[in-house]
Amino acid sequence: IRSYFARILGYSAQAAGQGGTGRDLQIPFFCLKLIVVRESKTWEEALEHCREQHTDLTSLVSETELLLAQRESREAQTTTTHLWTGLRYLANRWLWVNGDPLEYEAWPQGGLHQCPAWNLRCGAIATEGAWEARDCQESLNFICY
The model's pLDDT over 3-46, given as tens digits with 9 standing for 90+, comes to 333 333 333 344 444 555 555 556 666 577 899 999 999 999 99
- In this prediction the pTM is 0.78
| pLDDT tens-place string over residues 96-120 | 999 999 999 999 887 666 778 888 9
pLDDT of residue 85: 98
Positive/negative CA dihedral, 87, 90, 91, 97: negative
Residue 57: how many other CB atoms lie within 10 Å:
28
Mean pLDDT of the chain: 84
Domains of the chain and CATH, by start: 2-144 (3.10.100.10)
Q: Could you tell me which residues come within 8 angstroms of residue 116 by beta carbon, excluding any fewer than 6 positions away?
A: 89, 133
Name the DSSP class of 114.
S
Give whole-number Cα distances, 143 to 17, 89, 115, 136, in Å: 41, 18, 25, 15
- Residues near 90 by Cβ (< 8 Å), separated by ≥ 6? 121
